[in-house]
Amino acid sequence: MPFGIKVLRFVAPGILRANTLPAVEQPAPLVGANVAAVRETVDLRVPLLAKNDQIAAGNRANFRARKILALNLVSSPGAGKTTLLSRTLDEFGLTTKCAVVVGDLETDNDARRLARPHAPVAQITTGTACHLDAGMVAKSADSLDLTGVRVLFIENVGNLVCPAEFDLGEELRVVLLSTTEGEEKPLKYPPIFKTAHVVLLTKIDVADALGFDRALAAENIRRIAPQAKLIQLSARSGEGLAEWYALLSAHLFKS
């Protein structure tokens, strides 16, 4: 065993040091001949998962084992998540059993709007938290009878910032952007769009009335999220819904 004492003040290139916090310069430890410490530096490459990511990984494994397709729906407040899900339950949900977990700051309005005899719905009241986390979803999904359920929709809290950082264990992350929000939204909130598997451009029935430039919006989405499948739809007129249902069908786990 080498009796090596390494100099702790060593700063390798590329090291971030907070300027505001002075580096803690520790006095070299007292090392006399009789108090020599055996120090070793161990090289590790251990990926660290934040706690949320650990729970999310558990959720994902759980959903996959039960062959449930889980989708995390994220958007600004009012982009049309609940309206789209209501219609999806009434149409797609008649032949493919679906369940919903819906997050809301205060009220249970959305859960009541979504309640259907043929689709279990659970409400998560987040209080002050402006996003769902994996633990909330785990608890809530556990409270539902998921027998026979093939699709679990998770309606996140209306917010385009925090949900980007919180994996819920979903198979697909679906980001909704409504025509009322303007074409520039994806450029202003890149992280959430970067992590999207699917982007839904909603309320296209009013696009023309608003002078909304669909081609420009599509181009902005493509720039930020070239990986995402883009569907333009309206939960009101029904345009584009067949494409949405086809996407859901294509991602179902084989039963």
Partner 1 sequence: MDAVLQQARTRGANRVHRIVLRIGALAGVEPEALRFAFEVVTRDTLAAGSTLQLEAVPARAFCPVCAAEFDAGMDYVFSCPTCGQLSCDLRQGRELELAQIEMS
State which of residues 83, 96, 125, 126 lies at the interface with ligand GTP (CB under 6 A): 83
- Is residue 12 near partner 1 by the rule CB under 8 A? yes
- Is residue 114 near Mg ion by the rule CB under 5 A? no
**Shortest Å, Cβ 165 to Zn ion:** 8
- Is residue 42 near partner 1 by the rule CB under 8 A? yes
- Cβ-count burial of 18 within 10 angstroms (0-12 exposed, 13-18 middle, 19+ buried)? exposed
Name which of 155 and 183 has its Cβ closer to partner 1. Answer: 183
Taking contact as CB under 6 A, which single stretch among the options 74-82, 120-128, 221-229, 242-250 is the one that binds ligand GTP?
A: 74-82
State which of residues 69, 89, 164, 235 lies at the interface with ligand GTP (CB under 6 A): 235
Give dist(CA 107, CA 122) in Å, integer: 13
State which of residues 30, 33, 35, 44 lies at the interface with partner 1 (CB under 8 A): 44
SS3 of 60, please?
Answer: helix
Residue type, 54: Q
- Is residue 48 near partner 1 by the rule CB under 8 A? yes
State which of residues 59, 72, 76, 82 lies at the interface with Mg ion (CB under 5 A): 82
- Is residue 210 near partner 1 by the rule CB under 8 A? no
State which of residues 33, 38, 65, 215 lies at the interface with partner 1 (CB under 8 A): 38
- Is residue 81 near Mg ion by the rule CB under 5 A? yes
State which of residues 2, 32, 47, 211 lies at the interface with partner 1 (CB under 8 A): 47
Give dist(CA 91, CA 181) in Å, integer: 27
DSSP one-letter string for 138-165 = HHHHHHS--TT--EEEEE--S-SSGGGG
DSSP one-letter string for 183-251 = TTHHHHSHHHHHT-SEEEEE-GGGHHHHT--HHHHHHHHHHH-TTSEEEE--TTT-TTHHHHHHHHHHH
State which of residues 78, 148, 190, 191 lies at the interface with ligand GTP (CB under 6 A): 78
Residues 165, 197: contact at Cβ < 8 Å?
no
State which of residues 158, 169, 186, 240 lies at the interface with ligand GTP (CB under 6 A): 158
Radius of gyration of the chain from Cα atoms? 24
- Is residue 205 near ligand GTP by the rule CB under 6 A? yes
HSE-up of residue 28 (Cα within 13 Å, Cβ side) = 11
Residues that bind partner 1 (CB under 8 A): 6, 8, 11-12, 14-18, 20-21, 24, 26, 37-48, 50, 165, 190-191, 194, 222-227
